[in-house]
A and B are shown apart, each in its own frame.
Chain A
Amino acid sequence: MPPMAPPETATALPPPQPSEGPDFVQLLTPEGERVTHAQYSLDITDEEIRDLYRDLVLVRRIDSEATALQRQGELGLWANLLGQEAAQVGAGRALTDRDFAFPTYREHGVAYCKGVDPVTLMGLFRGTSQGGWDPQANGFGLYTIVIGSQTLHATGYAMGLQRDGGDGAAMAFFGDGASSQGDVNEAFVWASVFNAPVVFFCQNNQWAISEPLERQTRIPLYQRAQGFGFPGVRVDGNDVLAVLAVARAALARAREGSGPTLVEAYTYRMGAHTTSDDPTRYRVAADLEIWKLKDPIERVKAYLSRTGAGDAAFFASVEAAADEVAAHLRAGTLALADPDPISIFDHVYAGGSTLLDEEREQMSAYLASFADARH
Chain B
Amino acid sequence: MATITLGKAINEGLRKAMEDDPKVVIMGEDVGRLGGVFRVTDALQKDFGEDRVIDTPLAESGIIGTAIGLAIRGFRPVCEIQFDGFVFPAFDQIVSQVAHMHYRSAGNVKVPITIRIPYGGGIGAVEHHSESPESYFTHTPGLKVVTCSNPADAYSMIRQSIACDDPVIFFEPKRRYWDKAEVDLTAELSPLWKARVAREGSLATVITYGPSVRTCLEAAAAAETEGQDIEVIDLRALSPIDWDTVFASVRKTGHVVVVAEAPVFGSLAGEIAARISERCFYSLEAPVLRVGGYSTPYPTSRVEEDYLPDLDRILDAVDRSLAF
Contact = CB atoms under 8 A, between A and B. Distances in A.
B104 A142 contact: yes
B59 A190 contact: yes
A350 B73 contact: no
A170 interface: yes
19 contacts: A130-B106, A132-B104, A132-B108, A135-B105, A146-B92, A146-B96, A149-B97, A152-B64, A152-B68, A152-B69, A152-B93, A154-B69, A156-B71, A163-B52, A190-B57, A193-B57, A348-B103, A348-B142, A351-B165
Given A132-B105, A133-B105, A152-B69, A349 B166 contact: yes
A135 B107 CA distance: 11
B202 interface: no
A251 B66 CA distance: 19
Interface in B54-93: 56-57, 59, 61-62, 64-75, 89, 92-93
Given A186-B59, A346-B107, A348-B141, A141 B72 contact: yes
Contacts of A102: 69
A126 B206 CA distance: 49
A136 B108 contact: yes
Interface string A122-162: 00000001111111100001101010010111111111111
A373 interface: no
Nearest to A353: B240
Nearest to A146: B96
A33 to B, nearest CB: 41
A142 B97 CA distance: 11
Interface of B: 25, 51-52, 56-57, 59, 61-62, 64-75, 89, 92-93, 96-97, 100-110, 112, 141-142, 144, 164-166, 193, 239-243
Nearest to B55: A193
Contact of B73 (A152, A161, A182): A161
A183 interface: yes
Interface string A157-173: 11111111010001000
Contacts of A355: 239-241
A347 interface: yes
Nearest to B68: A153
Interface residues of A, number: 48
Interface string A70-104: 00000000000000000000000000000010100
B144 A349 contact: yes
Contacts of B141: 348
Contact of A190 (B66, B103, B193): B66
Contacts of B109: 134-135, 142
**What are the 3 tightest A-B residue pairs by CB atom distance, in nearest-first order?**
A156-B69, A152-B65, A160-B73
Contacts of B107: 346-347, 350
Contact of B70 (A134, A159, A350): A159
Contacts, number: 152
A152 B104 CA distance: 18
B106 A170 contact: no
Interface of A: 100, 102, 129-136, 141-142, 144, 146, 149, 151-164, 166, 170, 182-183, 186-187, 189-190, 193, 346-351, 353-356
A329 B102 CA distance: 26
A47 B164 CA distance: 50
Given A164-B75, A347-B105, A347-B107, 5 more contacts: A157-B69, A163-B70, A183-B92, A347-B102, A350-B110
B193 A354 contact: yes
The residue among A157, A159, A193, A349 with the most chain B CB atoms within 10 A of its own CB is: A349
Nearest to B92: A146
A60 B214 CA distance: 64
A349 B111 CA distance: 9
A303 B102 CA distance: 46
A66 B210 CA distance: 52
Given A130-B104, A157-B70, A187 B62 contact: yes
Contacts of B92: 146, 149, 183
Contact of A350 (B65, B66, B166, B193): B166
Nearest to A136: B108
A159 B108 contact: no
Contact of B69 (A133, A160, A193, A351): A160
A156 B73 contact: yes
A160 B77 CA distance: 10
Given A152-B66, A186-B57, A189-B57, A157 B108 contact: no
A183 B65 contact: yes
Contacts of B93: 149, 152, 183
Contacts of A131: 104-106
A188 to B, nearest CB: 10
Given A190-B59, A348-B141, A164 B74 contact: yes
A365 to B, nearest CB: 16
B68 A351 contact: no
A350 B52 CA distance: 25
